[in-house]
Structure 1
């Protein structure tokens, strides 16, 4: 029933958004403006929000009138940031639909990133990550390195939020290396995020070093926007170093700027660690107001993180010791809601049955204790059953794919000139030219020219002694693949045969195997291997090794 109501609300909002746009008429003062004018005059500043909304609506009307899907996607993107949250997801869907009607993979990747940002703002972090990963698939095929590393950065943010700290650390380190000297603000953001990761994995000395580097670099760039965030990060870090007075001092210095930026997440984090620092100094009455602000944030914003959960445990213990049953049970019941949210978003909480705080003991004070724990146990058993089933299914699938791959015979190069006369007639190319190109294609495969790095259609056409159009058509017709997939599959097939037949390659890293097969990056190699075989290189090698020793 609830789903039906949500669907009705979504449809009403969608119709409302469409009706608004259909009834919109571009003002005379903007009727002759070009797309560049609209793009340059939308600066996403709150003080000009009504004016900028007018520009965004005019931009969209012009793009619709001229049937320009690329500009429609960009104008929808502007409308996302100029409307309230109820309409943002609707505009995001429209933005993505129009972008897909273009052939611009850079644009499609960019709008997936924007949609991920919408989900991130809605605190739907799993959906945000899904969209960021799709964005990365598109963007990685472009030459826009800034966008490539921007995608890495936002994926790092989500991974850090969900508790995948090691993966996030590696991504932020890559971003720092790329953005340094190219984009000051992106470089500072990456430093700040890396510092947060170091704190979460217990590398407090490294966190302090990164924070100090960020402060120094900000002064050098004369960019102080990130200064309060590095101070905030160091305040949290000092708490873990047990320097409680310094932690309180730094966090209180950072708070005004954080509050001014309406950054409730970092504001809440500051309150928590100020409260914890007072608590560690046995200043409970000073700590309580700050710890209670964690509940304020959860009630108003539904914001919570695993580390902030401890505020509820402290408050429950405090009111239990003072026999304040009303507040004790309030925080117990709220803690249950908090755990539901955390269980949904954070990967490791489903297995964290034994928490530092004995929630079960307090739950016995509630009327529905037995029913609650029956449900909890059922949920845990269901989750474990599903996990086991998924792992078993994946195991048998991987085993089957491995056996198929081991039995697969390498494709032999054969002349297709004489056997494809019917296909020749389908191409608008001279048969003699086709024969010549095919002969060169066989030579290309035989001499393994596909192993060269950065093998593009242009380079391949030169090797085939033809133009890109003919090369593309011949490959599509006679190899039944697009050029990118054709080259990628040849590279992967080459590596598969080396791994099957020569033991030394089984000791290579994915990076080394990627270089051996001519891929530009380890990520591209592992993605191509998985697309070709359905397996990861690591799994394939491990199975080869187990066969070798059996």
Structure 2
């Protein structure tokens, strides 16, 4: 009963999106409930911890918790079952598995109708609208989100209402209707003012408003939203840093200790003799020492590679090579100068972030042929086309991570999409090839420098 009371209090704070307070009470509740045999309360706690995992961006861990909850609640708790299904779909949306997200949204609507509980149907429609926005089906996204918002607003769910307004604004912006997009971004801002609620992905709305008012010359309004964005960033950094530290220190550590205790009890039940136990310990110590030695060497190498990358970014102003009198290429000197000029413009543009960009497509943009473009890149950048393009994308995202701290909390999937890679694997491989370290290692070393300078 004590655990259930703390859990209810945490849920009340969560509904107000006071996430830090909610997490505190979830953790207290979990410490009581885990000692009981009350499966319903145990899974209810798991579901709510899963919500915090989702907000932190630990989508894989959240998915595992919601899948467990679906299996349990499906038996005799319709609303818990549908809620867990909805959050599972939202998680798949955030990790970029848009097809599976759509399948779950469809399943959620069908299951709600089968079970004669349609309370969650607007949420599945809302989720699908956001999903369609992220795969650039903007008209369908607008239709679905608009159809779901009245019910969500009536329920007093300001968080999902704000998310809906943001993705409506994002959709209208992508369709070229910036004035209408701004009206929705302002609704997000109004909810932020009233409820102090803003999700990390929604801060982009402030960036777009700042660029819009700059483009029409309204500097006073531009300045107003710059100040708003700075304030929002401070709030996001404080909230998410607290949540992340708290959940790993108090929740995950507790789970690890429980696993440790279970293993130790299992070993005792099997009654291993002292000789075998000591042999295992000795072998483990040797293994740990070897791992630690390799780890320390690896950390030094990571630090060296990190410093090389930072020096490269600091000296990122390219020295453009002038065309030579005897160019040695299969094109005229004038053609060489023209293609080189296009290359330099491309390097300073957002086009480097386009997905599935290849030599033929880029040559088409430059009104030249792939052979000429390949020769220019090889001569002036001393790289093959793929290495050249991957290098631009990696430099772009590394510099952005340095300048925008919120990106340091992004998953590799999200960072890869931001840089324009077609998959997480290609992004991580390209980053390691270009820099010698992984994106996670780069962010870890960057955070050390930032903490040392504060």
Q: Same fold (TM over 0.5)?
A: yes
**How far apart are 1:287 and its partner, in Å?**
1.3
Instruction: Please say if 1:274 is aligned against 2:52.
Output: no
Residue 96 of structure 2 aligns to a residue whose secondary structure is: coil
- 1:198-209 pair list within 5 angstroms: 198-209=92-103
Shift of 1:286: 2.0
Partner of 2:143: 249
Mean Cα deviation higher: 163-172 or 257-266: 163-172
1:322–1:547 CA distance, 2 compared to 1 (3 A) = closer
- 1:343 aligned onto 2:237: yes
CA distance in 2, matches of 1:198, 1:158: 16
Q: 1:146 to 1:278 in 2, by over 3 A?
A: same
Q: CA separation in 1, counterparts of 2:58 and 2:277?
A: 31
- TM-superposed deviation, 1:329: 0.4
> Helix, strand or coil: the match of 1:346?
helix
Q: What displacement does 1:161 show?
A: 1.7
Task: Kindly report which structure 2 residues correspond to 1:453-532, keeping only aligned pairs within 5 A, or say none.
Answer: 490-491=265-266, 501-502=279-280
Which residue among 320, 325, 329 is the counterpart of 2:214? 320
Unmatched tracts of structure 1, length 5 or more: 1-106, 351-382, 384-390, 392-484, 507-539
1:502 Cα deviation from its structure 2 partner: 3.7
Stretch moving more, 487-496 or 137-146: 487-496
Q: TM-score, normalised by structure 2?
A: 0.56
Instruction: Decide whether aligned partners of structure 1 residues 177 and 230 sit closer, same or farther in structure 2, where only a CA change above 3 A counts.
Output: same
Q: Kindly name which structure, 1 or 2, has the bigger radius of gyration based on alpha carbons.
A: 1
Contact 1:272 1:290 in 2 (8 A): yes
1:142 aligns with 2:36: yes
Instruction: Provide, for residues 372-404 of structure 1, a one-character-per-residue CA deviation record: whole Å limited to 9, x for no partner.
Output: xxxxxxxxxxx9xxxxxxx9xxxxxxxxxxxxx
Moved more, 334-343 or 107-116: 107-116
The answer for the alignment partner of 1:333 in structure 2 is 227
- Cα distance in 1 for residues equivalent to 2:163 and 2:281: 52
Q: Aligned ranges for residues 20-169 of structure 1 at < 5 Å?
A: 107-169=1-63
Question: Structure 1 246/504 Cα, relative in aligned 2: closer, same or farther at 3 Å?
Answer: farther
Tell me the CA shift for residue 346 of structure 1. 1.9
**Residues 396-450 of structure 1: CA deviation (Å, up to 9, x unaligned):** xxxxxxxxxxxxxxxxxxxxxxxxxxxxxxxxxxxxxxxxxxxxxxxxxxxxxxx
Cα distance in 2, alignment partners of residues 212 and 155 from structure 1 = 25
Separation (CA, whole Å) in 1 of partners of 2:228 and 2:70 = 40
- How has the CA–CA distance of structure 1 residues 545 and 173 changed in structure 2, closer, same or farther, with 3 Å as cutoff? farther
CA distance 1:348–1:140, change in 2 (3 Å): closer
Residues 544 and 314 (structure 1), Cα distance of their counterparts in 2 relative to 1, 3 Å cut: same
The answer (yes or no) to whether the contact 2:85–2:104 under 8 Å persists in 1 is yes
Which moved further from structure 2: 129-138 or 494-503? 494-503
1:546 aligns with 2:291: yes
Deviations 1:500-523 (A, max 9, x none): 5349997xxxxxxxxxxxxxxxxx
Q: Hey, what's the Cα distance between the residues in 1 that align with 2:286 and 2:29?
A: 29
Give the alignment partner of residue 128 of structure 2, picking from 234, 239, 242.
234
Q: Distance in 2 between matches of 1:549 and 1:343?
A: 33
Alpha-carbon contact 1:163-1:347 (below 8 Å) kept: no
Residue by residue over 1:182-235, the C-alpha shift from the partner in whole angstroms, topping out at 9 and shown as x without a partner, is 211110000001111111111111111111110110111111100000000000
**1:182 corresponds to 2:76:** yes
Residues 281-317 of structure 1 show CA distances to partners (whole Å, capped at 9, x for unaligned) of: 1111221211111111111111111011000000000
Q: Closer, same or farther in 2 for the Cα pair 1:133/1:331, shift >3 Å?
A: same
Q: 1:124 to 1:348 in 2, by over 3 A?
A: closer
Whole-Å separation in 2 of the counterparts to 1:336 and 1:549:
41
- Equivalent residue for 1:525? none
Question: Does the residue aligned with 2:76 lie in a helix, a strand or coil?
Answer: coil
Counterpart CA distance in 2 for 1:505 and 1:247 is 57
Matches of 1:218 and 1:332 in 2, distance apart? Answer: 43
CA deviations 1:242-299 (Å, max 9, x no partner) are: 1000000000110110111011111111111011101111111221211111111111
What is the distance in 2 between the residues matched to 1:501 and 1:137?
35
The whole-number CA distance in structure 1 between the counterparts of 2:163 and 2:125 is 13
Query: Are 1:216 and 2:96 an aligned pair?
Result: no
Mapped to 2, the partners of 1:227 and 1:541 lie a distance apart of 56
- Name stretches of at least 5 consecutive residues in structure 2 with no aligned partner: 250-260, 296-454
CA distance in structure 2 between the partners assigned to 1:190 and 1:262 by the alignment: 20
Q: Distance in 1 between matches of 2:74 and 2:99?
A: 22
Please say if 1:284 is aligned against 2:178: yes
Query: Following the alignment from structure 1 to structure 2, what is the Cα–Cα distance between the partners of residues 332 and 228?
Result: 34
Q: Secondary structure at the match of 2:192?
A: helix
In the TM superposition, residue 545 of structure 1 has moved relative to its aligned partner by 6.5
Determine if contact 1:163/1:346 at 8 Å carries over to the other structure: no
1:465-499 alpha-carbon deviations (Å, 9 max, x no partner): xxxxxxxxxxxxxxxxxxxx9x9975566799767
Match of 1:309 among 200, 203, 221: 203
Instruction: Report what 1:448 is aligned to.
Output: none
Alignment CA distance shift 1:548-1:115 (3 Å)? same
Aligned residue pairs, count = 278
